[in-house]
Amino acid sequence: MVRNQFETIRELFSRHVVPSYGRFDIAFSHGAGSHLFDVNGKRYLDLGGGIAVCALGHAHPAITEALVEQSRKVIHTSNFYYHEPQGRLAQALVNLLGPGKVFFCNSGAEANEGLFKLARKFGHDEGRFEVLTTLNSFHGRTLAGIAATGQEKIKKGFEPMVPGFRHVPYNDLEAMRHAISPATAAILIEGIQGEGGVTPATPEYLLGLRRLCDEKKLLLLMDGVQCGHFRSGRFQSFQRILERVPGGDEFLPDGISMAKSLGGGFPMGAFWVRAPYADLLGAGTHGTTYGGSPLACAVALKILEVVREEKLETNAREVGEFLKAGLLELARKYPKAVQSVRGLGLMLGVELAPQIPNLPGDPNKTQSVRLANLLHAAGLLTIPAGGQIIRLLPALNLSRGEAEEGLGIIESVISGI
Ligand SMILES: Cc1ncc(COP(=O)(O)O)c(C=O)c1O
């Protein structure tokens, strides 16, 4: 009977939902903290966090309370008017970053779209419009997002691409320098490439890009959608990467896109613009109906409050280090399954061995999807990235005990293959 419930849901999808996603055969009914329960009643430890979204885990009472309290007052007004939560959230984000201003939208792709428009406005009077991005990057699924993304598979079938984007290898400063043309207006990078396989930028790269942008009068833009919001153990990943690096304290990009954990599951995006450019997008140049609604901002403010009160920035760093050490130990013990472990804080990538012998599952599926399926059967959720990497992007309040539980499940699976 229970099996039927899953089948019924899947049938609804196959009949009525556009089949643009490759989904796993699981339907969830509810969650609590870092655990999710499927319609069969099976419990899973969620180390995927809804792809780095569920900052406080599932069904966190503070989020519920913020939603209920704000929805009793006002949910939406439109951006024709002012309201306090948007002003206070912008202030909080500026305080975490540096002098500048914030625009609110509804997703990561939309936040990046805003940065592209900022770059175009910035370069417009000089005829500059081009944004350089990196190979293996990911910047969203809108038309400009896929043009900006440095992965061919994302673009395929949607040509011609929006003009004005070129890609160069990541962490390669000289390649970026050589790619700059008279039309270039901006450079956009992720502080830690996520979809591309969890690769952090080096400190030299970040500092070098800042110098390069200053020298060539380009905007330095950072996509913090996945790696931002305390995931790395600091608010933004560049703050973590540049810790104790000479000159690191003064580093600031000119624009940062945010989403995912910003709303903890309530759909929300934003971008911050550094002070000299904060008024470039003047009245009438950019907008969205829902962006920065009282409800979304109330939730985001509550998440910031909980992160501060429960010291989740430190938790992400400490539990992340514990998890990474455990994964490195598994890589040492099971080299036939795990090749390497990368990442910072609670953004970790496990790179699988090029060819795992006897890996069960459909040989037409990638190794990462096959392993994710085995982990599901054992009660653990992770997020594949490409064909070879499993990502861990859990809630920022993941406990050490839960991290241990996750390591135990991973070991039980990889020791058996
Ligand atoms: C780095 C990065 N940028 C942008 C996006 C797009 O965000 P959204 O799916 O909210 O549009 C993602 C989503 O995974 C991302 O990881």
Residue nearest to atom 4 of ligand 1 (CA): 139
Strand boundaries in 244-326, DSSP class E: 255-258, 269-274
SS (H, E, C) 38-77: ECCCCEEEECCHHHHCCCCCECCHHHHHHHHHHHHHCCCC
In this predicted structure, what is the pLDDT of residue 4?
85
Cβ of 139 less than 6 Å from ligand 1: yes
Rounded distance from Cα 384 to ligand 1 centre (Å): 15
CA torsion angle 321 325 327 332 (round to 10): 160
CATH class of domain segment(s) 74-309 = alpha beta
Cβ of 234 less than 6 Å from ligand 1: no
CA gap 273, 281 in Å, rounded: 10
Residue 155 Cα distances to 25, 109, 220, 222, angstroms:
27, 15, 24, 21
Residue nearest to atom 8 of ligand 1 (CA): 108
Stated length of the chain: 417
- CATH architecture, domain 2-59+311-414: Alpha-Beta Complex (3.90)
Question: Same topology for domains 2-59+311-414 and 74-309, yes or no?
Answer: no
Cβ of 107 less than 6 Å from ligand 1: yes
CB burial class (10 A; 0-12, 13-18, 19+) of residue 215? exposed
Using DSSP, state whether 186 is helix, strand or coil: strand
Rounded distance from Cα 335 to ligand 1 centre (Å): 31
Residue nearest to atom 13 of ligand 1 (CA): 140
Rounded distance from Cα 417 to ligand 1 centre (Å): 33
Rounded distance from Cα 53 to ligand 1 centre (Å): 10
CA–centroid distance for 407 within its chain? 22
Q: What is the pLDDT along the chain (417 residues), one digit of tens a residue?
A: 555 899 999 999 999 999 999 999 999 999 999 999 999 999 999 999 999 999 999 999 999 999 999 999 999 999 999 999 999 999 999 999 999 999 999 999 999 999 999 999 999 999 999 999 999 999 999 999 999 999 999 999 999 999 999 999 999 999 999 999 999 999 999 999 999 999 999 999 999 999 999 999 999 999 999 999 999 999 999 999 999 999 999 999 999 999 999 999 999 999 999 999 999 999 999 999 999 999 999 999 999 999 999 999 999 999 999 999 999 999 999 999 999 999 999 999 999 999 999 999 999 999 999 999 999 999 999 999 999 999 999 999 999 999 999 999 999 999 998
Helix (H) or strand (E) holding 266: none
pTM (2 d.p.): 0.98
Rounded distance from Cα 160 to ligand 1 centre (Å): 22
Q: Ligand 1: which of 136, 260, 290 to mutate, most ligand atoms within 8 Å of CB? A: 260
In this predicted structure, what is the pLDDT of residue 3?
56
Ligand 1 atom with the shortest distance to the CA of 51 = 14
Rounded distance from Cα 1 to ligand 1 centre (Å): 37
Residue 358: HSE in the Cβ half-sphere, 13 Å Cα cutoff: 6
Residue nearest to atom 16 of ligand 1 (CA): 226
For the chain, domain boundaries: 2-59+311-414, 74-309
CA–centroid distance for 166 within its chain? 22
In this predicted structure, what is the pLDDT of residue 294?
98
CA gap 162, 174 in Å, rounded: 26
Ligand 1 atom with the shortest distance to the CA of 226 = 16
Q: Ligand 1: which of 20, 154, 225, 271 to mutate, most ligand atoms within 8 Å of CB? A: 225
Cβ of 274 less than 6 Å from ligand 1: no
Q: Which strand ranges, in their side-by-side order, compose the sheet holding 219-223?
A: 100-105, 269-274, 255-258, 219-223, 184-190, 130-134, 165-168
In this predicted structure, what is the pLDDT of residue 279?
98
Using DSSP, state whether 341 is helix, strand or coil: strand
Rounded distance from Cα 108 to ligand 1 centre (Å): 5
Is the previous residue joined to 182 through a cis bond, with omega within 30 degrees of 0? Answer: no
Q: Between helices 400-414 and 367-377, what is the axis angle to 10°?
A: 110
